[in-house]
A and B are shown apart, each in its own frame.
Chain A
Amino acid sequence: MSYEVPLAPGEQVADIERTSDDHGWPLWEVFVRPKRGLNHTHAGSLHAPDAEAAIQNARDGYTRRAEGVSIWVIPSKEIHASDDAAAMFDPFTDKPYRHPTFYEIPDEVGQL
């Protein structure tokens, strides 16, 4: 089907790609910062037609009990993950001397 929808003044056409599955809306990964000074951490994922809607959906899905002060959303297809856990991570399991457990950390440092 072809269609013509007029462009609003100053409008740019969004370049949101559809994911390959049948779902009409792309998948987004949601990261929530629980409070100032802490990092955004992965909270889950959701479907949304664009970034703005993804943030709104994330707000309703992941922060409605005041769990956060900031939200990031990232298209899931933009995330590249490691594979082959054995080759990647096993070499580190026998190197405990790399853990900085021999330092005293003063209490005042707090979140490090």
Chain B
Amino acid sequence: MNKTAIDIELATYLLRLADDNMVIGQRLGEYLTRAPELEEDLAVGNLALDHIGVAQHLYEYAAEAEGKGRSADDLAMLRSEREYSNCLLVEQPNGDFANVMARQFFFDAYQLVLWGALAASHNPRLGGIASQAEKEARYHLRHSSGWVIKLGDGTAESHQRMQQGIDALWRFTAEPFEIDELEAELAMDCVATDASALRDDWETTVDRVLGEATLRRPEDPYQASGGRSGIHTEHLGHMLAEMQWMQRSYPGLEW
């Protein structure tokens, strides 16, 4: 089958969305048994599975769109760091619980506005994935923002740790709203959405939660970027090495 340029662009876009969810799902999986309570471990495991589930749908679609005979598993397990196009936020390693929740909060707030917009995509398959993922994101945000508020407005130590988490990850929060030529083109066709237009809604959520949590909004203007084109922080390679080791050592292994 001959793939048109638009199919390839669509596949590239789907991979970005999928990689975001795959990588944060893996990070949350790494955190299992380290949450402060058994109940929270269950919650984190649940989040991880939700994200990996979304990634699976998107990888399957991307694999069909690109038409290179690769499967969803191939896309997840056999692409290198430079081929992964997730935003830098999600690949940041797990710190303490406040740090994990800060990352989750920033990401959930982004995913909620993103899926909300993509649910109206003129591409029905992407729209369907988005409207399902939006419901999950709404719940995820309730969970993570609840923790940001509880820890921020908790004890002196929890407040300080939550502030550290927010400060440490702030510089990765502009990248998800960057838009390049490919996304602009797909947005014109009403397939993708103009992510830069979602930033205001994201900020409203973030400001409300930080306010309620008595946390200070960081003022550091430096913002990191590059994940969408495969230029990652030093952490992603290590994560992928662990995640992909089995499939690369025993190609085609199934269980």
Could you list which residues of chain A lie within 8 angstroms of chain B, going by C-beta atoms?
1, 3-9, 11, 25, 46-50, 52-53, 56-57, 59-61, 64
Contact = CB atoms under 8 A, between A and B. Distances in A.
Contact of A48 (B39, B154, B157, B159): B39
A64 B146 contact: no
Interface residues of B, number: 22
Residue in A4, A56, A59, A64 with the greatest tally of chain B CB atoms within 10 Å: A56
Contact of A8 (B142, B155, B211): B211
A56 B214 contact: no
Contacts of B154: 5
Contacts of A46: 39
Given A8-B211, A47-B37, A47-B39, A60 B46 contact: yes
A52 B39 contact: no
Contacts of A4: 156
Contacts of B211: 8-9
Nearest to B47: A60
Interface in B166-193: none
Contacts of A47: 37-39
B246 interface: no
B57 to A, nearest CB: 19
Contact of B143 (A5, A49, A56, A64): A56
B42 interface: yes
Contact of A56 (B37, B146, B155, B157): B146
B43 A56 contact: yes
B214 A5 contact: yes
Contacts of B153: 5, 8, 11
B156 A3 contact: yes
B150 A49 contact: yes
B146 A8 contact: no
A50 B147 CA distance: 11
Contacts of B118: none
Nearest to B154: A5
Contacts of B159: 5
Residue in B38, B39, B153 with the greatest tally of chain A CB atoms within 10 Å: B39
B43 A25 contact: no
Nearest to A8: B212
B43 A8 contact: no
Contacts of A61: 39, 42
A62 B25 CA distance: 22
B155 A60 contact: no
A57 B42 contact: yes
27 contacts: A1-B156, A3-B155, A3-B157, A4-B156, A5-B154, A5-B155, A5-B156, A5-B159, A5-B214, A6-B214, A7-B214, A8-B211, A8-B213, A8-B214, A9-B211, A11-B153, A47-B37, A47-B39, A49-B150, A53-B150, A56-B142, A57-B39, A57-B42, A57-B43, A60-B43, A61-B39, A61-B42
